[in-house]
Structure 1
Amino acid sequence: MTAVVSPRGVSIADLLAVLESAGLRLASSDEGRKLGVTRAVLYDPCSAVDRLSGGVLVAPGLRSADDAARGVVARAAGQGFGAVVVKAYGEAVTPLVRAADAAGIALLVVSDAIEWLHLHSLLNNALVTATHVGRSLSLPAVGDLFALAGATAAIVGGATAIEDTSRRVLAYSHLPGQAIDEERQRGILGRRVPDLPYNDEQYRQVYASRGVVRFAAPPLALPRLAVAVRAGTDLLGSIWVIDPAGSLGARAEEALLAAAPVAALHLLHARSFEALARQQRGEFVRQILENAGRADDAADALGLETRRPYAVLAFAPVEFGLTESTPTAGRLLDMVTLHCEARIGHTGLVMIGGTLFVLVAGPHLGRPEVLTQLATEVVTAAGTSLRLRLLAGIGPTVDDLASVRGAHHEAARVIALLRQRPDLGPVATADRVSDQLVLAHLRAQLGSDPKLTSHRAWAVAAHDATRGTNYSQVLLAYFDAVGDVGLTAKRLSLHPNTVRYRLRRATELFHLDLADPEQVLPLWMALTVRSGGTAESAD
């Protein structure tokens, strides 16, 4: 459903009150703060700028030094836009400021660290929600979630808590005379909703509803009212109000519904700040892991010592890759952060190519079981809370920052191996699967260089293809079973005598000596590469 916005829209001043924490600032004249804006659109240099009254033109790639950029600002103003958003890229934006002031349009500059698509989403969510609220975004002061929780509790009539989608308790009311129960006390103390059997179903109902949802009192708890907090279609969190006597009526529901879009503005403010901080920190971590760019400066920014034990953990879904823009990725980032801080403290994390890498530091890394336990906890929690089947690869512990790149590479190799070998389990350290990593590397080399492939493997494959036989499977299963005929027969669902016969025929057809390791090793490796893994049933 497309949101309806007023012709005037939201003032630039009010928009900045929400998104200044995302690194958004007004570079042009202060007169621009009075301009109204309604909707953000992305600039397409290959298309004309269409008319949009009160539009915000989000302009990736527009550089202040380019003469054409000033023309884009002027055309946007001529088409009714209220603002243009650019990045400075380390340059002065004075020419664009002059063009904006001359055209009567606001020039907004955003931090280089924030992603364009994320900014576009933040802008539209803030504009849609602010228009729905129909009031100044700065009342109550954006960012003061506790004041909002207290105001909601006073208006609705029950103790109030505001949560994000990861079920973190962001703020709560503390008005005298309003009852709370043990569940709320635990949530306040731990700043996270306790994990209770009925939680998942309650949150599912709240998030699926556009109105207020009522819940009867579960054991040892009080009744509640809850409403989802959204900005457009983007789910941000929820508000929960305790109703001790079950007496809060229709007016309380109306007040709670009215509080939800106001809360959305506060959560957008918090999210924009967290997103910017996370992206900046993530970029520093990326530079260290890949030893790219100004890695030394990145280490200084994160306060990392040159000589100290470090390790890298990698987490990736079994079925698909992740991108930072998906809600699941955001919840996974929060979950990993929580577990790392609770068990060992974490240095930083970053998403690279659909895999989440975590850089950790500290003297406790001398005990390998610490990281294994941490990774296992995250994998288990992801399966329970996110319904996400996760793999975890743990690189070797290294003694200094210069060696972190190698640890990152090894953690990524473990993830790739676990994808190929489900039998190894969802969690593994590079040390535990070192032999399998060596074999995987050898197989990759064999697969990319035909000169390394055994001629017998070509002969076996050709025979199977032309005669309809399965000597490749039998030989591979026999090699994988280390010459155990009984185990080979079991894996292939064949009788042991059948296996013995086919092995004897293979030795005759391909002039193969199964007792000669110089013949067996190249053939085994080549057959493994061709099969993509291990042999299965040969029926």
Structure 2
Amino acid sequence: MIPTVRAVLGRILTDLGSTLVEVVAGDPDPVRPVGGVLIHDPMDEPARLPGAVVLGVGVAGAPAVAALVERAAGLGAAAVIVRSPVAVDDTVAVAVAGSGVPVLGLTPGASWAQVAALLRALLAVDEFAGEDLAGAGEDVGGPLSGDLFALANAIAALLDGPVTVEDRGGKVLAFSSRQDEGDPARIATILDRQVPAEKLRDLEARGAFHALYRSEGPLYVDGVADKPRVAIAVRAGGEILGSIWVVVQDRLGPDGEHALTEAAKVAALHLLRRRAGEDVGHRLRADLLATVLEGGAAAPQAAARLGLTAQPACVLALTVLGDSSAPDLLAAGHRSGEALALHLAAVHPRAATASLGGVTYAVLPSGSDEAAVRVADTFLSRIAPRVPAVIGLGRLAAHPGELPRSRADADRALRVLTAGGTPHRVAHLSDVYVASLLLELADRVHAEDDLPDNPVARLRAYDAEHHSALTETLAAWLDTFGDVVAAAAAVHIHPNTFRYRLKRLAEVADLDLADPGARFEAMLHLRLTPPTP
């Protein structure tokens, strides 16, 4: 049975680290379970909650931080959070080392109420992912975004104007009613769920976004559309999450500006919960897909949770050609994987995608191999020539139990594609089977410490000692099926000279060129054992 997803300290640090908290003392255990949130109150003894994150509201100074760490350890806490900058001295270091409770610093300006609500939301999301998603099928990984639309309507009622909540790229995440009271630019934005590109360029040219993201309060924007706007950045700590835009008739009063400022804080919580929910969903789907592709006792249940039991499916393996350690290639691989997930979601709602070990794997429900090839070809044609990606395809699996074998096929085909053994960008294992066998045979040959003597090895040794080209001569002759004229032209020498070299190499290598078996063995050795540099 697949274990219930539970929040651990490492995941919480990953979700909040770039936005709200940083480790200032101690070495957090990334797999330490987190059981809840406690708010520190020096006048009250809280109930013991193992694995809690303790919020040290108002705790400042090294002695107070050390005392909080010791108290949190007595409660079985996983970590404490205090406001940055945090005074860390020997007293704090000793308390942390002795208790194992790390100290996290909260970004200045972040709301304690926001942090407490966000942590509880993360815990609730994990509980939701572990229990409610067990039979959700296509709902696995759906965004737990909170009711942003209700918030937009509430802001519209307070400020008497239509509202949109947008991300940093101008994508509309939620909008209020009464959009017909806006102007053509706002209506176009709602219809496309995206601010028109020309409006974004205009705002950028005017410096509106620069001013908006630097301002802590509302910003009035005139002249971009028929009606003026008031906007405010939605931020958590130092990170800009998006913005709220309101079509207004006139400037807001102090009460209206205060209401919009407070609404931005609430919107930040919704957007953080939305991002956390999406991250949980993506991780859950990746874990489930990895379980399916590995096989084993848990694979059938994982396949059922992903909705992959209803029809045959095959595995696609995607990678980007190039140096795997290059940062640009890693980024291109990540973008290509996301693009493939989006493409397959449009093709089939049950398609499951995850990146495992630098390769993006997808399980695509399909009725035939030809259909899978068409999907892969279509996708690569859309991202080419910007991204040099290739896709290996596995055999069609009649049921989830055959998907591990389909993955093995896709991996073998992908290796041939990345090794340059075929001009194609999409291939089934059956298309490149011989090339795959040769690569696997080469692996075994290279793993041997002492290869037996053979004609090709003798030729290479002779060439190295006498600075000759007998190995090149043999390769050209074999490649041209014994056509001396064509082989001589390939190596740019006279046919008579080539014939002399051919006779000489047969003597040096003790190779019978008239023997088909000997010729085949020589071809294999040339292919499997490249010359020593």
Separation (CA, whole Å) in 1 of partners of 2:222 and 2:498: 64
Is the CA contact (8 Å cut-off) linking 1:159 and 1:178 kept in structure 2? no
Amino acid at match of 1:80: V
Partner of 2:294: 290
AA of the residue aligned to 2:148: L
Q: Report the residue type matching 2:370 in the other structure.
A: E
CA RMSD of superposed structures (Å): 5.7
CA shift for structure 1 position 271? 1.9
3-state SS in 2 of match to 1:407: helix
1:377-416 matches, within 5 Å, as 377-382=378-383, 388-416=387-415
Deviation by residue 1:327-347 (Cα, 9 ceiling, x = unmatched): 766644432221112113344
Q: Does the CA contact (< 8 Å) of 1:40 and 1:58 recur in 2?
A: no
Measure how far apart 1:519 and its partner are.
1.3
Residue-by-residue CA offset, 1:124-164 (whole Å, 9 max, x unaligned): 99x549x357875769x972333455677886977635247
Match of 2:316 in 1: 313
After TM superposition, give the deviation of residue 60 of structure 1 in Å.
Answer: 2.7
Deviations 1:84-106 (A, max 9, x none): 9xxxxxxxxxxxxxx97784685
Correspondence for 1:59 among 26, 29, 32: 29
Once the two structures are superposed, what CA deviation does each residue of 1:35-87 show, in whole Å capped at 9, x if it has no partner? xx973428xxxxxx55xxxxxx84335589xxxxx999999998728999xxx
Q: Distance in 2 between matches of 1:473 and 1:143?
A: 69
Equivalents in 2 of 1:81, 1:401: separation in Å? 54
CA contact under 8 A between 2:506 and 2:512: conserved in structure 1? yes
CA shift digits 1:152-195 (9 cap, x unpaired)? 78869776352477x8653344433123458635633xxx899x
Indicate conservation of the 8 Å contact 2:413/2:429, yes or no.
yes
Q: Tell me which residue corresponds to 1:175.
A: 178
Letter in 1 for 2:149: F
| Match runs of 1:199-348 below 5 Å | 211-212=211-212, 238-239=242-243, 264-292=268-296, 294-305=298-309, 308-321=311-324, 331-348=335-352
- Classify 1:280/1:513 alpha carbon distance in 2 versus 1 (closer, same or farther; 3 Å): same
Query: 2:315·2:410 contact (CA, 8 Å) conserved in 1?
Result: yes
Q: Which residue of 1 aligns with 2:127?
A: none
Which amino acid letter does the alignment assign opposite residue 65 of structure 2?
G
How far apart are 1:258 and its partner, in Å? 9.6
CA–CA distance in structure 2, aligned partners of residues 156 and 499 of structure 1: 91
The range that moved more, 391-400 or 501-510, is 501-510
Give 1:466 deviation, angstroms.
1.7
Please give the alpha-carbon distance, in whole angstroms, between the structure 1 residues aligned to 2:507 and 2:202: 68
Q: Aligned pair in 2 of structure 1 residues 72, 395: CA closer, same or farther (>3 Å)?
A: closer
Instruction: Answer whether contact 2:51 2:76 (CA < 8 A) is retained.
Output: no
Percentage of pairs with the same residue: 25
Per-residue deviation at 1:461? 1.7
State the partner residue of 1:460: 459
Change (3 A) 1:268 1:463: farther
Aligned counterparts, 1:37-52, within 5 A: 39-41=21-23
Distance of aligned partners of 1:265 and 1:486 in 2 relative to their CA distance in 1, 3 Å threshold: farther
Work out whether residues 222 and 228 of structure 2, in 8 Å CA contact, stay in contact via their aligned partners in 1.
yes
Tell me how far apart the structure 1 counterparts of residues 347 and 453 of structure 2 sit (CA, whole Å): 49
Q: Does 1:80 align with 2:65?
A: yes
CA distance in structure 2 between the aligned counterparts of 1:145 and 1:223, rounded to whole angstroms: 23
Contact 2:234 2:244 in 1 (8 A): no
Count of residue correspondences = 435
| Equivalent residue letter for 2:349 | G
Which deviations, in whole Å up to 9, do the C-alpha atoms of 1:12-41 show, x marking residues without a partner?
A: xxxxxxxxxx95599xxxxxxxxxx97342
Partners of 2:392 and 2:410 within 8 A in 1: yes
Aligned to 2:373: 372
Measured at CA, do residues 521 and 75 of structure 1 come closer, stay the same or move farther in structure 2, by a change above 3 Å? same
SS of residue in 1 equivalent to 2:367: helix
The 3-state SS of whatever aligns with 1:425 is: coil
CA distance 1:528–1:395, shift in 2 (3 Å):
same
Q: Within 5 A, what are the aligned runs for 1:414-433? A: 414-421=413-420, 423-433=422-432
Q: 2 CA distance for matches of 1:334 and 1:229?
A: 26
* Distance in structure 1 (CA, Å) of the matches to 2:160 and 2:462: 79
Tell me if structure 2 keeps the 8 A contact 1:186–1:193. no
What residue is the counterpart of 2:97 in the other structure? none
Deviations along 1:229-275, whole A, 9 cap, x unmatched? 77678786x55969999x999x9999999988765543331121122
Give, in whole Å, the separation in 2 of the partners of 1:217 and 1:373: 44
Map of 2:525 onto structure 1 = 526
**Higher mean Cα deviation, 476-485 or 282-291?**
476-485
Cα contact 2:232–2:245 (8 A) shared by 1: no
Structure 1 residues 311 and 453: CA distance shift in structure 2, 3 A: farther
SS at match of 1:316: strand
Unmatched runs of 5 consecutive residues or more in structure 2: 10-18, 35-48, 57-62, 81-102, 122-144, 214-220
Choose from 164, 188, 204 the match for 1:160.
164
CA distance in 1, matches of 2:204, 2:499: 58
**Residue 296 of structure 1 aligns to a residue in which SS?**
helix
Supply the AA of the counterpart residue of 1:373. R
- 3-state DSSP of counterpart to 2:284: helix
In 2, are the aligned partners of 1:282 and 1:350 still within 8 Å (CA)?
Answer: yes
Q: 1:152 to 1:518 in 2, by over 3 A?
A: farther
Q: Cα distance 1:327–1:490, how it changes in 2: closer, same or farther (>3 A)?
A: same
Are the counterparts in 2 of residues 313 and 395 from structure 1 also a CA contact under 8 Å?
yes
Please state whether the residue corresponding to 2:510 is helix, strand or coil. Answer: coil
Kindly provide the amino acid, as one letter, of the partner of residue 320 in structure 2: P
Q: 1:444 to 1:328 in 2, by over 3 A?
A: closer
Matched to 1:296, the amino acid is: P
Q: In 2, are the aligned partners of 1:159 and 1:173 still within 8 Å (CA)?
A: yes
Secondary structure of 1:531's match?
A: coil
Match of 1:117 in 2: none
CA distance in 2 between partners of 1:396 and 1:408 (Å): 8
Q: 1:294 to 1:226 in 2, by over 3 A?
A: same
Deviation for aligned residue 1:423? 4.6
Q: Which has the larger radius of gyration?
A: 2
Secondary structure of the structure 1 residue equivalent to 2:318: strand
Change (3 A) 1:146 1:61: closer
Instruction: State the SS of the aligned residue for 1:398.
Output: coil
CA contact (8 A) 1:454 1:522 kept: no
Residue correspondence of structure 1 range 416-495 to structure 2 within 5 A: 416-421=415-420, 423-449=422-448, 455-483=454-482, 494-495=492-493
The C-alpha deviation readout for 1:261-297, integer Å capped at 9, x for no partner, is 7655433311211221222222121122112462233
Question: Are the structure 2 counterparts of residues 175 and 454 from structure 1 closer, same or farther at C-alpha, using a change threshold of 3 Å?
Answer: farther
SS in 2 for 1:408: helix
CA distance in 2, matches of 1:200, 1:515: 74
Q: Given the superposition, is the C-alpha separation of residues 132 and 388 from structure 1 closer, same or farther in structure 2, using an over 3 Å criterion? A: farther
Does the 8 A contact of 1:156 with 1:253 survive in 2?
A: no
